[in-house]
Amino acid sequence: MASRSSVARANNTNTQGKICQFKLVLLGESAVGKSSLVLRFVKGQFHEYQESTIGAAFLTQTVCLQDITVKFEIWDTAGQERYHSLAPMYYRGAQAAIVVYDITNQDTFTRAKTWVKELQRQASPNIVIALAGNKADLSNKRMVEHDVIAILQEAAAYSEENGLLFMETSAKTAMNVNDIFLAIAEKLPKNEAGVSGNRPTAGVGLAATENRESSGKSCCGS
């Protein structure tokens, strides 16, 4: 990762005045650590017994690249992935997605591939997708070792084939958590077309001015 890249926690004042805002969605089976990854990334926290997602489904975090600040508007599933009740709204206008699986559970990887397919079907065609093999810290609870390696190899091959970013992460130890968001930030198209092409603006904001803190929805033009 570029050494000048950093994750800004707290109020970031960007010096270049160039902020790009992107909608990023999380996908994956229940209990693979979607919320934990976000909590680690946004607040630097980890809770061993994180409850099923309640009350925190819309977080933002900025990432500073060399010449640009990327602001992620992060959507969590709010538990709606269970019972196949995730609304199409969730995918709308998403420019990035992290599909999470649990490295100790082969099923969650199989399901992750289904989520990738779902994204390719429902989301915008140029969405940046990252595959995260989470709970990489759980080496002592790993399944049969070669299975994990098999998954790892399969995941890497699968990612390459599908043009996905891929990392193993641990929300617990913070391993690769900032990195995966940074990698996505690097890969996102920062030109105006890339942004506004995904999210038509010109909509009336209703109370948007008080809720959305900046007007920078497609703000990369300069």
Partner 1 sequence: FVVKQLSKMDEEYDVIILGTGLTECILSGLFSVSGKKVLHMDRNSYYGGESTSLTPVQEVYKHFGSEAVPNYDKPRDWNVDVVPKFLMADGKLVKLLIHTNVTRYLEFKSVEGSFVWKSGKVYKVPSTDKEALASSLMGIFEKRRFASFLQWVMDYKQDVPSTHKGVAPNATMSEVVAKFKLDKNTVDFLGHAMALYRTDDYLSGPFLPTVMRIRLYTESVMKYGNSPYLYPLYGLGEIPQGFARLSAIYGGTYMLNKPIENVEKKDGKIEVTSEGETARAKFVVGDPSYFPDRVKKVSQVVRAVCFLKHPINNTSDSKSCQIIIPQNQVGRKHDIYVSSVSSTHNVCSSNYYLAIVSTTVETANPEAELTPGLKLIEPIAEKFIKTSDIYEPLDDGKESQMFVSKSYDATSHFETTCDDILDVYKRVTGEDFDFTQVKKDSVEEA
Residues in contact with partner 1 by the rule CB under 8 A: 9-10, 42-43, 53-61, 78-80, 82-85, 87-90, 92, 200-208, 211-213
In the bound complex, what is the minimum distance in angstroms from residue 149's beta carbon to partner 1?
30
For partner 1, the closer CB: 8 or 156: 8
Q: Are 31 and 51 in contact, with CB atoms under 8 Å apart?
A: no
Q: b/e for 197-211, b at 16 or more Cβ within 10 A?
A: ebbeeeeeeeeeeee
For partner 1, the closer CB: 106 or 124: 124
Q: What are phi and psi of 71, to 5 degrees?
A: -105, 120
Distances (CA, A) of 190 to 49, 71, 173, 183: 37, 12, 31, 13
In the bound complex, what is the minimum distance in angstroms from residue 80's beta carbon to partner 1?
5
Q: Which two tokens stand for residue 190?
A: 């920062």
Q: Is 42 exposed, middle or buried (0-12, 13-18, 19+ CB in 10 A)?
A: middle
In the bound complex, what is the minimum distance in angstroms from residue 42's beta carbon to partner 1?
5
Q: How far apart are CA 59 and CA 158, in angstroms?
A: 29
For partner 1, the closer CB: 52 or 139: 52
For partner 1, the closer CB: 41 or 166: 41
In the bound complex, what is the minimum distance in angstroms from residue 92's beta carbon to partner 1?
6
For partner 1, the closer CB: 27 or 155: 27
In the bound complex, what is the minimum distance in angstroms from residue 10's beta carbon to partner 1?
8
Q: How far apart are CA 83 and CA 122, in angstroms?
A: 18
